[in-house]
């Protein structure tokens, strides 16, 4: 019974069976990491084709990991890949697979209504003890949870791209999230080999709340003619020790994603100058220059 858990070992043991919904960029990474750390994972998406692609991507990513990790013993590497892949199954029917799951991690499209509909349906199908989480970057966890009757067993698990590489998980405690649920999510993050930090259910949590306004400030500085993109990027890398400059990072994250986040915050808090839209960013997005994924953003990419 999840209510009687107290030790961290017991909290950790609470999550064995994980359902990851959405087999895109983030969901595939989350499934890979959960399976690599011994969890039994069901990956759910809307079509078999997408799931096949996701599984292929996971296999390729695992092979890259073991190439380094098992450089001395490639046979052990291959055995590890096979073992991890065995921990992952796939499905297009979320409602039926959640019947046997301890934890749902949702990583579908960033749309409140679509997420609410999904969780509303899962709430009826999942057992009492199952904890629901969203990987949302910009939507309030409480708003997503409102379509369910398990507000105490609903929290946020915000991973970073690429999931297998990035050590941080922001664990979000919404106002109604129980301490028990929150503790289980912290322990689960550690069991994944990640470093969790505790966040409140506030826009951008910690990382994006600081990073998005910072990137927009860089664009505004450039728009005022106070620095070239190249110089701003070099300055932040060599002067502040950042691994990427703000324009490189915007291209990596995707200009459309950054615009979506800032527009959402601006709508809710129009007087906050940190959330002001940027004409240059809007222009590039309108031109379809979204960054690395389209071959051009602030920079051209091969
Ligand atoms: P993506 O577009 O790569 O993947 C989304 C997947 O969800 C697609 O495969 C799609 O077919 C599937 N999907 C959509 N609706 C579905 C439904 N009703 N049921 C099952 N599957 C469904 O998106 P990505 O980038 O992986 O983002 C997913 C979530 O993670 C979003 O909420 C996003 O805000 C969040 N996030 C994204 C980060 C990033 O760097 N891309 C970082 C952290 C969080």
Domain CATH code at residue 261: 1.10.1040.10
Ligand 1: does its nearest atom lie under 6 Å from the Cβ of 170?
no
Residues 31 and 159 in one domain: yes
Question: In the listed set 178, 200, 222, which residue is the last one of a domain according to the structure?
Answer: 200
Ligand 1: residue whose CA is nearest its atom 35: 136
* CATH number assigned to the domain comprising residue 108: 3.40.50.720
pLDDT of residue 2: 53
Residues 175 and 79 in one domain: yes
Residues 245 and 268 in one domain: yes
* Ligand 1 closest atom vs CA 22: 7
Question: In the listed set 177, 200, 223, which residue is the last one of a domain according to the structure?
Answer: 200
Question: In the listed set 200, 235, 258, which residue is the last one of a domain according to the structure?
Answer: 200
Between CA 122 and CA 143 the distance in angstroms is: 16
Between CA 12 and CA 88 the distance in angstroms is: 20
- Residue 134 is given by DSSP the state E
Name the residues annotated as catalytic: 137, 158, 170, 208
In a domain, 300, yes or no: no
Residues 179 and 229 in one domain: no
pLDDT of residue 172: 98
| Domain housing 284 | 210-293
Closest to 167 in 3D by CA, of 205, 211, 207: 207
Residues 215 and 177 in one domain: no
Between CA 135 and CA 157 the distance in angstroms is: 5
Ligand 1: residue whose CA is nearest its atom 28: 107
Residues 187 and 245 in one domain: no
| Cα-to-centroid distance, 14 and ligand 1 (Å) | 26
pLDDT of residue 10: 82
Number of folded domains that form the chain: 2
**Running along the chain, 302 residues long, what does each successive block of 10 average in pLDDT?**
67 91 97 98 98 98 93 93 98 96 98 97 98 96 98 98 96 98 98 98 96 97 97 98 98 95 94 96 98 97 92
pLDDT of residue 5: 66
Ligand 1: residue whose CA is nearest its atom 29: 107
| Cα-to-centroid distance, 234 and ligand 1 (Å) | 32
In a domain, 72, yes or no: yes
Handedness of CA 66, 67, 68, 71 (dihedral sign): positive
For 81-130, the three-class secondary structure string (H helix, E strand, C coil) is HHHHHHCEEEECCHHHHHHHCCEEEECCCCCHHHHHHHHHHHHHHCCCCC
Residues 229 and 251 in one domain: yes
């Amino acid at each position: 019974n999840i209510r009687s858990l107290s030790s961290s070992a017991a909290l950790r043991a609470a999550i064995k069976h994980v359902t990851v919904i959405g087999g895109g960029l983030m969901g595939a990474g989350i499934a890979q990491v959960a399976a690599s750390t011994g969890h039994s994972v069901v990956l759910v998406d809307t079509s078999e084709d997408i799931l096949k692609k996701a599984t292929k991507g996971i296999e390729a990513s695992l092979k890259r990991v073991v190439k380094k990790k098992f450089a001395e013993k490639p046979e052990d590497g291959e055995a590890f890949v096979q073992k991890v892949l065995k921990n992952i199954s796939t499905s297009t029917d979320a409602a039926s697979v959640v019947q046997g799951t301890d934890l749902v991690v949702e990583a579908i499209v960033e749309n409140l209504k679509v997420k609410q509909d999904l969780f509303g349906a899962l709430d009826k199908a999942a057992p009492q003890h199952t904890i629901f989480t969203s990987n949302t970057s910009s939507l309030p966890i409480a708003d997503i949870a409102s379509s369910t009757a398990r507000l105490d067993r609903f929290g946020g698990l915000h991973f970073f791209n690429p999931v297998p590489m990035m050590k941080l998980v922001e664990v979000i405690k919404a106002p109604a999230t129980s301490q028990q649920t929150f503790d289980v999510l912290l322990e689960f993050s550690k069991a994944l080999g990640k470093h969790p930090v505790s966040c409140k259910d506030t826009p951008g949590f910690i990382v994006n709340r600081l990073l998005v306004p910072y990137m927009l400030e860089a664009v505004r500085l450039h728009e005022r003619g106070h620095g070239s993109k190249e110089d701003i990027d070099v300055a932040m890398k060599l002067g502040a020790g950042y691994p990427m400059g703000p324009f490189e990072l915007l291209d990596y994250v995707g200009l459309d994603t950054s615009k979506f986040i800032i527009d959402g915050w601006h709508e809710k808090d129009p007087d906050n100058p940190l959330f002001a839209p940027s004409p240059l960013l809007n222009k590039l997005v309108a031109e379809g220059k979204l960054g690395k994924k389209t071959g051009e953003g602030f920079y051209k990419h091969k």
